[in-house]
Structure 1
Amino acid sequence: MRAFLAIEIEDYIKQNIDRTQEIIKESDCARINYVKSQNIHLTLKFFGDIDEDKKKEICDVVNNVTSQYNEYKLKLVNVGAFRNINNPRVIWVGIKDKTTVDLIKELDVEFEKIGFEKERSYTPHITIGRVKNINDKAKLKDTLKSLQKEYYGKMDVKEIHLKSSTLTPSGPIYKTEETFKLGK
């Protein structure tokens, strides 16, 4: 099973992200594969292919860590890009929240103990599109810059999910395998 750990994003925030995708599409300056609204999420950790034994180990770690966290607010802001805004390959919406960063770091330390590679430097983000070809680099840069101060919303984080991903020609299909409630 190809798996990852994620926070689901509330529908009203997805609608705000959809509007941002439309603004970028209308600029008509690049060929971009956009993440479908139903697939928008905040990845905490990508595991790759795992078996049932590894799934159980992951679940044990996540249960232990999430039991130490209370529900909290997650604020979604800004548009950014990896490599960078001058040479974008991935377009994303950022988060503004210390709790999520702390949660990711703590999970990463525990996942390393069960054999997963530690993340180097991770910028928590929601991928909204992957750039395939740029027709007008200056226009794309200007469009992304115009979205850098956007506010997408604030939501309650009450749980995180272990999800499986099946790749298909029309895009990935995600399925929730396990749900972990936050709470001390």
Structure 2
Amino acid sequence: MIRLLRAFIAVDLSDELRDKVADIQSMFSDFKFKFVDPNIVHITMKFLGDVHEENIDEIAKALDSIEYDHFEANVKGIGVFPKPKYAKVIWVGCEGGFEGLHALIEDSLTSFDITPDMHKFNAHATLARVKYLPKKQKQDLIVLLDELKEVDLGTMQVTSIKLKKSILTPEGPVYETLHEVKLK
């Protein structure tokens, strides 16, 4: 029987930044958003989707071939996808060596049946998902986003990437690290 795992490659936020994520999320408490548990907020480097369980070891080996120096990342600026009037995702931006790391991750996965990202990579950590936003709250959200667009949560050292599986539960996703690749 073929087992599929919902998998992705991520950079975890530092504990210090997770505390600051919780503070930022609390600023959106007037909205009925679905907040990501601050303890599992991460920067998705590549969403793999449903992967055959027997391919996980080969994907891990492919990721082990990545040679990239660790780097300092700055986590700052609250934004949304796709745009403030029609927000579906609230995120915090991440600056550093993410684009180069993402390119190497993409290159390492070319021999697998994984669709390459078609959009320019935008390093971010999802804070909340917007299922519904009443018309009367749209302007409040736009004002708050404008206030937070330059907020600086701080820096962290990016020293590894992690291959994770996601188990969806009624209480929210549960993530398990399957493999970790240390950066140089």
| TM-score normalised by L of structure 2 | 0.92
Q: Which residue of 1 aligns with 2:118?
A: 120
Which one-letter code corresponds to 1:156 in the other structure? Q
Is this contact kept in 2: 1:165–1:175, CA < 8 A? yes
> How far does residue 155 in structure 1 lie from its aligned partner after superposition?
0.6
Where does the alignment leave 5 or more consecutive residues of structure 2 unmatched? none
Q: Which residue of 2 aligns with 1:6?
A: 10
Q: Which residue of 2 aligns with 1:151?
A: 152
Which one-letter code corresponds to 2:104 in the other structure? E
CA distance in structure 2 between the aligned counterparts of 1:14 and 1:178, rounded to whole angstroms: 22
Q: Which residue of 2 aligns with 1:138?
A: 139
CA distance in structure 1 between the aligned counterparts of 2:116 and 2:162, rounded to whole angstroms: 20
**3-state SS of the aligned residue for 1:43?**
strand
Q: Which residue of 2 aligns with 1:58?
A: 59
4+ aligned runs moved over 4 Å, structure 1: none
| Larger strand proportion of the pair | 1
Is this contact kept in 1: 2:65–2:108, CA < 8 A? no
1:9-158 residue pairs with structure 2 within 5 A? 9-25=13-29, 28=30, 30-65=31-66, 68-97=67-96, 99-121=97-119, 122-135=121-134, 136-158=137-159
- May I ask how many residue pairs the two structures share in their alignment? 177
Is this contact kept in 2: 1:6–1:44, CA < 8 A? yes
Is this contact kept in 2: 1:109–1:118, CA < 8 A? no
Is this contact kept in 2: 1:166–1:174, CA < 8 A? yes
Q: Which residue of 1 aligns with 2:165?
A: 164
Is this contact kept in 2: 1:57–1:114, CA < 8 A? no
CA distance in structure 1 between the aligned counterparts of 2:24 and 2:145, rounded to whole angstroms: 10
Deviation string, structure 1 residues 92-113 (Cα, Å, up to 9, x no partner) = 000111x111110121133233
**3-state SS of the aligned residue for 2:65?**
helix
CA distance in structure 1 between the aligned counterparts of 2:145 and 2:130, rounded to whole angstroms: 12
CA distance in structure 1 between the aligned counterparts of 2:117 and 2:150, rounded to whole angstroms: 27
Is this contact kept in 2: 1:76–1:94, CA < 8 A? yes
**Backbone CA RMSD of aligned residues:** 1.2
Is this contact kept in 1: 2:76–2:153, CA < 8 A? yes
Percentage of matched positions with identical amino acids = 29
CA distance in structure 2 between the aligned counterparts of 1:156 and 1:133, rounded to whole angstroms: 35
Where does the alignment leave 5 or more consecutive residues of structure 1 unmatched? none
